[in-house]
Structure 1
Amino acid sequence: MDVDTGIDDSLALLYLLASPEAEIVGIAATAGNVAAAQVAVNNLAWLDVCRAPAIEVALGAAEPLAVPLRTTEDTHGPQGIGYAELPAPTRHLSRRSAARMWVETVRERPGEVVGLCTGPLTNLALALRLEPELPRLLRRLVIMGGAFNHPGNTTPTNEWNIHVDPEAAKEVFDAFAAAPADRRPIVCALDITETIEMHPEHLRRLAERAGCPPRDPARESDPEGTRSSAPNPVVRHVEDAVRFYFEFHRRYDQGYLAHMHDPFAAAVALDPSLAILRPATVDVELAGTITRATTVADWSGMWGREPNADIVVATDPAAFFDRLIARVGDFARAVHPLVPQEIS
């Protein structure tokens, strides 16, 4: 995982921790939603809360390749996890850099590792500079990023992750032109991820699945900043994080909801059959005055270049949320079983 944790990145991590078929072999902290150092703290803290086994967390680059870092605390909160207040982590960062972890991990396990990038692609671009064969060494790469036939969420044409480091994104897409067809990156862009809408009802179902007492975990009528009363720590922190995201989306007239971009990408990384894919050649605009960082897809071969990505063009959001709620709810209940006095 290469993440800029992040509210929805947090749910992606929980989804993978809750999935028995997943083995997380490393987590790279990338600068994006918040600074890389804070991202690393968030990852370590979530692993503690989830009582996860030892998983390497490596610090990534502090800045994008060619431009100053832009963060988005207005979207994700001052620490990147909304209103959630995770305990200070007891775990420690890896001595390896994130780029070095990428390279050494895929060299040790060629053809086995699936890479999941839910933040800017800075670390992966640096890893590709160290190991140009990485597109052939990975089993598959899944990227949450870009917008094709859809408005951007940062500028009229830009998606956030690509906007933060467009040079890195271009290096990655250019490098994966060398990947075999069955190892092309799967791209989960805003065209689809903005249909993955979490609502308060999803949080209620998640809490119920985790064994929490019946209640309304988030209501649009609640005062901003209301905190969760869930006795389960995983559920409580998720509710506090997602409430911030609900409030952000409402503030921008999108409704009391939250787009779950990153957990959807995590689900696709484990099971690509959740998505309908269409091959295309993807490039990133770097020179445009008002279109810089725009992802462009050549769907019909006009550029005369082979496809370098498989773009998600359709999915079933309800089926995804059923899976998310079942997995994370059961996981939260197993990790933090409630004693009788907590549910009376």
Structure 2
Amino acid sequence: MTDTTRHKVIFDTDPGVDDALALYYLIRHPQVDLLGVTTVFGNAPVALTTRNARFLLREWGHGAPVHAGASGPLTPDMPPEAFPTHIHGENGLGDHPVDLDPTDDPDDAAQFLIDMIRLHPGQIRVLAVGRMTNLARAVQMAPDIAGLVRDVVIMGGAFRVPGNITPAAEANIWGDPLAADIVFGAAWRVVAVPLDLTTRTFMDRSTLNDLGARGGPGMRLVADLSQNYVRFYQAAGYDGMLVHDAAAAVCLTDPDLFTLTTGEVRVLSDGMALGLTLMNPADRQGPMGAWQGRPRQFAALEGQPQAILDRIAQVCTG
């Protein structure tokens, strides 16, 4: 029988400043068993995101294994993408000093996902906050895992609001839209935490600094490496930072703070709307067409931003 009070989590990530806060939240949460971290390209090249994940886990005294994953998208003919160094720094962690060198790890994240899901049937919860490439490859390699995973929670999509990399698309989806379409189309439960909600989940600078002061060395590291991220938002007129990935982590542990909309989801993988997430909502179903045969998935279009921030603060400083 599955113990629903515990969360066996694999964190699929591309650290990444807001990824670091999400990882710290998972490590600190008393009901989360972090079984492993899989890395993907996105906020930085995969060699750096893998190095960054290892650095953070070491600094926080956690022994979860790190498995490197995809270095590029499944989507053919993707337009060139520059890594967002203006947001996450040249090293992916806000240019905070990192005393580990990148290594040339084997690309085994998808196989690690398959192995762990099969080892713990009905128990694994995957939290994916980067490109969905590792997940898509895993379910392509082993379609049976869709019926064995407990659920998949992702940070991604922009369903009823503009995107943050193009008017149509959120960055994680845009970076590999074919992979996202595969993930939404697999026979597992997917809950997306999209820009519709995360762009309303804003941690102001004074709160971040207060958490860093109260939360001990671990939270101090998060606050320190987030300073360039805050400066990026300051240039846009905001004194603080959006906590996209940590909001998705809270959705995994505290779903009562989120309101879900359900329907079949497709992702466009070409044209000017590349990366657009489109839901055929269950409460006002249109003709099925391209949604025919797709499973109904979930998107947290609404929620309680202040309660989400309070939960992050409670876990990360408790």
TM-score > 0.5, shorter chain as reference: yes
Aligned residue type for 2:124: V
Match of 2:254 in 1: 271
Q: Deviations over 1:266-311 (max 9, x none)?
A: 11112211211111211011233x2111111111221434653111
One of 140, 145, 149 as aligned partner of 1:129: 140
Aligned equivalent of 1:161: 172
CA distance, structure 1, for counterparts of residue 270 and residue 212 of structure 2: 47
Match of 1:87 in 2: 99
Q: How far apart are the structure 1 equivalents of 2:173 and 2:230?
A: 23
Letter paired with 2:244 = H
Structure 2 spans left out of the alignment, 5+ residues = 1-10
Pair 1:32-2:55 in alignment: no
Quickly say closer, same or farther: Cα 1:282–1:94, change in 2 above 3 A.
same
**Match in the other structure for 2:159:** 148
CA deviation after TM superposition for structure 1 residue 7, in Å: 0.5
Equivalent of 2:280, from 290, 298, 303? 298
Query: 1:219-259: CA deviations, max 9, x gaps?
Result: xxxxxxxxxxxxx54233222222111111122x2412211
CA distance in 2 between counterparts of 1:269 and 1:93 reads 31
SS of corresponding position for 1:255: coil
C-alpha deviation, 1:328, in angstroms: 1.2
Counterpart AA for 1:160: A
For 1:207, what is the secondary structure of its paired residue? helix
CA distance in 2, matches of 1:71, 1:7: 13
Is 1:245 aligned to 2:254, yes or no?
no
Does the alignment pair 1:49 with 2:59? Answer: yes
In the alignment, the residues of structure 2 paired with residue 7 and residue 141 of structure 1 have an alpha-carbon distance, to the nearest angstrom, of 22
Cα pair 2:14 2:44 within 8 Å, conserved: yes
Deviates more, 1:112-121 or 1:73-82: 73-82
Structure 2 residue 68 is matched with structure 1 residue 59 = yes
TM-score normalised to structure 2 length: 0.88
| Identity %, equivalent residues | 32
Over alpha carbons, which structure has the higher Rg? Answer: 1
What number of residue pairs does the alignment pair up?
Answer: 299
What's the CA shift for 1:207?
2.9
- Conserved in 1, the CA contact under 8 Å of 2:211 and 2:220? no
Alpha-carbon separation, structure 2, partners of 1:207 and 1:19: 17
Alignment-mate amino acid for residue 261 of structure 1: H
CA distance in 2, matches of 1:89, 1:34: 14
Match of 1:284 among 262, 267, 286: 267
Root-mean-square deviation (Å): 2.0
Q: Is the 8 A contact 1:186 1:311 kept in 2?
A: yes
Amino acid at match of 1:201: S
Secondary structure in 2 matching 1:263: helix
Paired residue for 1:207? 212
- CA offset at residue 94 of structure 1? 7.7
Q: Could you say which structure has the higher strand fraction?
A: 2
**1:225 aligns to what?**
none
TM-score by length of 1: 0.82
